[in-house]
Structure 1
Amino acid sequence: MIAPRRRILLLFLVSVLFFFFFHGASSLNQEGRILLEAKGGLAGQPDALSSWNASDDTPCAWQGVNCTSGVVTAINLSDANLSGPFPSALCRLPHLASIDLSVNYINGSLTDADLAGCDALSFLDLFLNNLVGPLPDALASLPNLTYLDLSSNNFSGGIPQAFGRFSRLETLALVYNLLTSTVPDFLGDVLTLRNLDLRYNPFNAGHIPVSLGNLRNLETLSLGHCNLDGEIPQSLGRLSRLAYLDLSCNHLRGGVPEFLSGLSHLTQVELYNNSLSGRIPRGLGKLGALLRFDASLNQLEGPLPDDIFDGPLLESLHLHTNQLTGGIPAGVARSKSLSDLRLYNNQLHGYLPADLGKITPLVTVDLSRNSLYGEIPASICDCGVLVQLHLMQNSFSSRVPDGLGRCRTLNRLRLPGNALSGPVPSGLWGLPHLFLLDLRDNALSGRISPVISNAANLSSLLIEDNQFSGIIPPEIGAAVNLQEIAAGNNQLAGLLPATLGNLTNLSRLDLHNNSLSGELLREIQSWKKLSDLNLAHNSFTGGIPPELGGLPVLNYLDLSNNDLTGPIPDQLQNLKLSRFNLSNNELSGAIPPMFANEAFGSSFLGNPALCGDMAGLCPASGRTTANRYGYLWLLWFVFILAGLVLAAGVSWFTCRCRKYMNAIDKSKWTLKSFHKLGFSEQDILGSLREVNLIGSGASGKVYKVVLSNGETVAVKKLWTANMNGATMDDAFEAEVATLGNIRHKNIVKLWCCCTHKDHKLLVYEYMLNGSLGDLLHGNKGSVLDLPTRYKIALDAAEGLSYLHHDCVPPIVHRDVKSNNILLDEKFGAKVADFGVAKAVENGPKSMSVIAGSCGYIAPEYAYTLRVNEKSDIYSFGVVILELVTGKLPVDPEYGEKDLVKWVCSTIEQKGIEHVIDPKFDMRCKQEILKVLNIGLLCANSLPINRPSMRVVVKMLQEVRL
Structure 2
Amino acid sequence: MALPSLILLLCVLSITTAAVSLNQDGLFLQRVKLGLSDPNDALSSWNERDPTPCSWNGVLCPPDGAHVTAVDLSNALLAGPFPSFLCRIQTLTSLSLFNNSINSSLPGAAISACRALRFLDLSQNLLQGPIPPALADLPDLRHLDLQGNNFSGQIPARFSQFRSLEWISLAGNLLTGTIPPQLGNITTLKQLLLAYNPYSAGPLPAQLGNLTNLDYLWLADCNLRGPIPDSLARLPKLQNLDLTNNRLTGSIPPSFTRFTSIVQIELYNNSLTGALPRGFSNLTTLRRFDASMNDLTGTIPHDLCGLDLESLNLFENRIHGSLPESIASSPNLYELKLFNNQMNGTLPARLGLNSPLMRLDVSYNGFSGGIPPNLCAKGLLDDLILIYNSFSGNIPEHLGKCRSLGRVRLRNNRLSGPVPDDMWGLPGMYLLELDGNSLTGQISRKVSSAFNLSLLLMSRNQFSGPIPVELGFLGNLIEFAASHNRLSGRIPQSLAQMNQLGRLVLSSNELSGEFPAGAQGWNSLFELNLANNNLSGQIPAGLGSLPVLNYLDLSGNRFSGKIPTDLQKLKLNLLNLSNNRLSGDLPPMFAKQIYKNSFLGNPGLCGDMEGLCPQKQEPKRRMSNLWILRFILVTTALIFILGVTWFIFKFRSLKKVKACIVISKWRSFHKLGFSECEILDYLQEDNVIGSGGSGKVYKVVLSNGETVAVKKLYGGGQMGKNIDSGGEKDEFEVEVDTLGKIRHKNIVKLWCCFNAADCKLLVYEFMPNGSLGDLLHSAKGGRLLDWSTRFKIALDAAEGLSYLHHDCVPPIVHRDVKSNNILLDRDFGARVADFGVAKIVQGVNKGTQSMSGIAGSYGYIAPEYAYTLRVNEKSDIYSFGVVILELVTGRLPIDPEFGEKDLVKWVYSTLDQKGVDQVIDPKLVDSGFRGEICKVLDVGLRCTGSLPISRPSMRRVVKMLQEAGKEMKLRSGKKQGKLAPYFEEETSDELESCDSLSRQRA
Common topology (TM > 0.5) = yes
Q: Write the mapping of 1:853-892 to structure 2, written as runs, cut at 5 A.
A: 881-882=813-814, 889-890=822-823
Q: Write the mapping of 1:45-56 to structure 2, written as runs, cut at 5 A.
A: 45-49=38-42, 51-52=44-45, 54=47, 56=49
Shift of 1:888: 7.6
Shift of 1:632: 12
Shift of 1:454: 0.6
Shift of 1:418: 0.8
Structure-2 change in CA distance of 1:880 and 1:174 (3 Å)? farther
Indicate the residue corresponding to 1:23 in structure 2: 17
DSSP-derived class of the 1:947 partner: helix
Kept after mapping to 2: 8 A contact 1:286/1:311: no
Moved more, 591-600 or 455-464: 591-600
Indicate the residue corresponding to 1:336 in structure 2: 331
Please give the per-residue CA displacement for 1:171-223, whole angstroms capped at 9, x wherever unaligned: 22122222222121101011111111222222222221111011011011111
Aligned-CA RMSD value: 5.1
Q: Say yes or no: does 1:578 pair with 2:573.
A: yes
DSSP-derived class of the 2:439 partner: strand
Percent identity between matched residues is: 42
Q: Say yes or no: does 1:138 pair with 2:138.
A: no
Please give the per-residue CA displacement for 1:293-330, whole angstroms capped at 9, x wherever unaligned: 00001121212122212223x11111111111111111
DSSP-derived class of the 2:152 partner: strand
Moved more, 123-132 or 140-149: 123-132
One-letter amino acid of the structure 2 residue matched with residue 87 of structure 1:
P
Q: Write the mapping of 1:560-571 to structure 2, written as runs, cut at 5 A.
A: 560-571=555-566
Q: In 1, distance between residues paired with 2:406 and 2:101?
A: 41
Indicate the residue corresponding to 1:282 in structure 2: 278
Structure-2 change in CA distance of 1:347 and 1:642 (3 Å)? closer
Indicate the residue corresponding to 1:217 in structure 2: 213
* Aligned pair partner of 1:768 in 704, 716, 719: 716
Q: In 1, distance between residues paired with 2:130 and 2:640?
A: 74
Q: Write the mapping of 1:336-735 to structure 2, written as runs, cut at 5 A.
A: 336-619=331-614, 696=688
DSSP-derived class of the 1:588 partner: strand
Kept after mapping to 2: 8 A contact 1:123/1:146: yes
Kept after mapping to 2: 8 A contact 1:299/1:323: yes
Shift of 1:29: 4.8
Shift of 1:170: 1.5
Indicate the residue corresponding to 2:266 in structure 1: 270
Structure-2 change in CA distance of 1:489 and 1:645 (3 Å)? closer
Shift of 1:60: 4.3
Structure-2 change in CA distance of 1:59 and 1:172 (3 Å)? same
Indicate the residue corresponding to 1:246 in structure 2: 242
Shift of 1:619: 4.1
Indicate the residue corresponding to 1:117 in structure 2: 113
Indicate the residue corresponding to 2:314 in structure 1: 319
Please give the per-residue CA displacement for 1:555-576, whole angstroms capped at 9, x wherever unaligned: 2222222221222223223322
Shift of 1:27: 5.6
Please give the per-residue CA displacement for 1:463-500, whole angstroms capped at 9, x wherever unaligned: 11111111110111222211111111111111111111
Q: Write the mapping of 1:941-952 to structure 2, written as runs, cut at 5 A.
A: 946-952=863-869
* Aligned pair partner of 2:726 in 777, 787, 807: 787
DSSP-derived class of the 1:492 partner: strand
Kept after mapping to 2: 8 A contact 1:882/1:888: no
Kept after mapping to 1: 8 A contact 2:381/2:405: yes
DSSP-derived class of the 1:211 partner: helix
Indicate the residue corresponding to 2:940 in structure 1: none
Q: Say yes or no: does 1:170 pair with 2:137.
A: no
DSSP-derived class of the 2:163 partner: coil
Moved more, 422-431 or 358-367: 358-367
Q: In 2, distance between residues paired with 1:414 and 1:82?
A: 51
Please give the per-residue CA displacement for 1:400-435, whole angstroms capped at 9, x wherever unaligned: 111111111111111111111111100110111111
Kept after mapping to 1: 8 A contact 2:715/2:759: no
Shift of 1:590: 3.0
Indicate the residue corresponding to 2:192 in structure 1: 196
Structure-2 change in CA distance of 1:95 and 1:589 (3 Å)? farther
One-letter amino acid of the structure 1 residue matched with residue 95 of structure 2:
I
Kept after mapping to 2: 8 A contact 1:286/1:308: no
Indicate the residue corresponding to 2:29 in structure 1: 35
Q: In 2, distance between residues paired with 1:627 and 1:605?
A: 33
With the length of structure 2 as denominator, give the TM-score of the two structures: 0.66
DSSP-derived class of the 2:596 partner: helix
Structure-2 change in CA distance of 1:141 and 1:468 (3 Å)? same
Please give the per-residue CA displacement for 1:606-662, whole angstroms capped at 9, x wherever unaligned: 2232233233344497899999999999999999999999999x99xxxxxxxxxxx
Indicate the residue corresponding to 2:842 in structure 1: 926
Number of aligned positions between the proteins: 759
Please give the per-residue CA displacement for 1:737-796, whole angstroms capped at 9, x wherever unaligned: xxxxxxxxxxxxxxxxxxxxxxxxxxxx95421558xx99xxxxxxx9963587759999
Moved more, 628-637 or 92-101: 628-637
Please give the per-residue CA displacement for 1:90-132, whole angstroms capped at 9, x wherever unaligned: 3233333333333333324223145242223222223333333
Kept after mapping to 2: 8 A contact 1:555/1:578: yes
Q: In 2, distance between residues paired with 1:41 and 1:827?
A: 57
Kept after mapping to 1: 8 A contact 2:112/2:138: no
Uncovered stretches (5+) of structure 1, i.e. residues with no partner = 1-13, 652-689, 703-713, 717-764, 777-783, 797-817, 829-847, 864-872, 904-915, 957-961
Shift of 1:162: 1.3
Kept after mapping to 2: 8 A contact 1:350/1:372: yes
One-letter amino acid of the structure 2 residue matched with residue 291 of structure 1:
R
Kept after mapping to 2: 8 A contact 1:33/1:54: no
Q: In 1, distance between residues paired with 2:850 and 2:475?
A: 35
Indicate the residue corresponding to 1:105 in structure 2: 101
Q: In 2, distance between residues paired with 1:67 and 1:377?
A: 63
Q: Write the mapping of 1:789-868 to structure 2, written as runs, cut at 5 A.
A: none
With the length of structure 1 as denominator, give the TM-score of the two structures: 0.69
Indicate the residue corresponding to 2:894 in structure 1: none
Q: In 1, distance between residues paired with 2:255 and 2:144?
A: 30
Indicate the residue corresponding to 2:91 in structure 1: 95
Moved more, 84-93 or 483-492: 84-93
Q: In 1, distance between residues paired with 2:534 and 2:481?
A: 18
Q: In 1, distance between residues paired with 2:631 and 2:517?
A: 40
Shift of 1:393: 1.0
Indicate the residue corresponding to 2:71 in structure 1: 75
Q: In 2, distance between residues paired with 1:141 and 1:524?
A: 78
One-letter amino acid of the structure 2 residue matched with residue 369 of structure 1:
Y
Q: In 2, distance between residues paired with 1:793 and 1:223?
A: 39
Moved more, 343-352 or 619-628: 619-628
DSSP-derived class of the 1:348 partner: strand
Structure-2 change in CA distance of 1:48 and 1:194 (3 Å)? farther
Q: Write the mapping of 1:731-746 to structure 2, written as runs, cut at 5 A.
A: none
Shift of 1:373: 0.7
Structure-2 change in CA distance of 1:787 and 1:630 (3 Å)? farther
Structure-2 change in CA distance of 1:74 and 1:635 (3 Å)? farther
One-letter amino acid of the structure 1 residue matched with residue 717 of structure 2:
N
Q: In 2, distance between residues paired with 1:272 and 1:179?
A: 23
Uncovered stretches (5+) of structure 2, i.e. residues with no partner = 1-7, 620-627, 656-681, 698-712, 736-749, 761-775, 792-800, 874-1002
Shift of 1:267: 0.8
Moved more, 786-795 or 537-546: 786-795
Indicate the residue corresponding to 1:152 in structure 2: 148
Q: In 1, distance between residues paired with 2:639 and 2:44?
A: 81
Q: In 2, distance between residues paired with 1:691 and 1:452?
A: 53
One-letter amino acid of the structure 2 residue matched with residue 37 of structure 1:
R
One-letter amino acid of the structure 2 residue matched with residue 297 of structure 1:
M
One-letter amino acid of the structure 1 residue matched with residue 44 of structure 2:
S
Indicate the residue corresponding to 2:888 in structure 1: none
DSSP-derived class of the 1:601 partner: helix
Kept after mapping to 2: 8 A contact 1:938/1:946: no
